[in-house]
Amino acid sequence: MSVTSDQSGIPYFRIVYHPHSRQSEKIVPLDGAQSSLLDGVPAVLGSGPRPLLSASRPWAPFRSYADFTFAEIMVNRRASGHEIDQELHLIDSQWSKGGSALSFRSHRDLKLALEAAKKLVVPFQSGSITENWNGRPMTFSFEYRDPWAWILSLVKDPALAAVSNWHAFRKFYCSDGNEERWYDHPKSATRCWDIEDSLPAPDPYPHVFLGLHVWSDKGLMTKTVKKHPVLARATWLPVEIFSASGNGGGILLILMPISGL
């Protein structure tokens, strides 16, 4: 498709937002300036500049980064209370000169910090489902996170809300009088645009489509836990956020039991 450009020969992206967004079309020159695209999504999709996704103390509610790191190691190791106390004793005596930066003095301190951290994320809960098999009921129990509670936690997060792609958009790479449709984010897909077409117009509040990427990853199974891990990603967030493991990243949604039938 031929297009008219006023960019003096500089390639650029043309972004067309869905009418429900009430945003005007935007031209983003690819000249290396700060107005260029970040991870394929125009910065104007958020309200102002991108905020830092971590405050001055990203390890909170732990007292320090050292506390956070030690807790992570102990949890991944599944260390017992006795093992944790041994580690702390060695760190505070033989392994560090003048004491360590850890505030933990026993496994009880670590447990209190972990309990505080749990309140910041959507917790796991137990569920079950019963189906008939060959004329007899079969019940399967599993652990899961409430997906709606997780979605609400992301939508209500001020840092994530500022960079969320609430509406579909179409992106075109324009160069030498030609333009090419560009797909680099779920919200740039034709399907997302079509779905938004089916949503009610703002009345006065806007309606949005919040897509999820959900899949089962057998590669995360272990020898001791014979369950299918099911993971989820929030595809309205920037790619570098929903593909990562930090705030707004993918989560373990459910551990599906494997039937022995």
Taking the CB of residue 112, how many other CB atoms lie within 10 A of it? 12
Region 222-242 average pLDDT: 85
The predicted structure's pLDDT at residue 37:
45
| 135 CB-near residues (< 8 Å, 6+ apart) | none
% of residues, the chain, pLDDT over 70: 81
The predicted structure's pLDDT at residue 94:
67
Check whether 8 has a pLDDT greater than 80.
no
Check whether 52 has a pLDDT greater than 60.
no
3-state secondary structure the chain: CECCCCCCCCCEEEEEECHHHCCCCEEEECCCCCCCCECCECHHHCCCCCCCCCCCCCCCCCCCHHHHHHHHHHHHHCCCHHHHHHHHHHHHCCCCCCCCCCCCCCHHHHHHHHHHHHCCCCCEEEEEEEEEECCEEEEEEEEEECHHHHHHHHHCCHHHHCCCCCCCEEEEEEECCEEEEECCCHHHCHHHHHHHHCCCCCCCCCCCCCCEEEEECHHHCCCCCCEEEEEEEECCCCHHHHCCCCCCCCEEEEEEECCCC
Tell me, rounded to whole angstroms, the distance of Cα 79 from its chain centroid: 28
Residue pLDDT, tens place only, 189-229: 999 999 999 999 888 888 999 999 999 877 655 666 677 88
Residues in the chain: 261
Say which residue the tokens 């179409």 belong to: 170
Single-letter code of the amino acid located at 222: T
Angle at alpha carbon of residue 80, lines to 79 and 86, rounded to 5°: 85
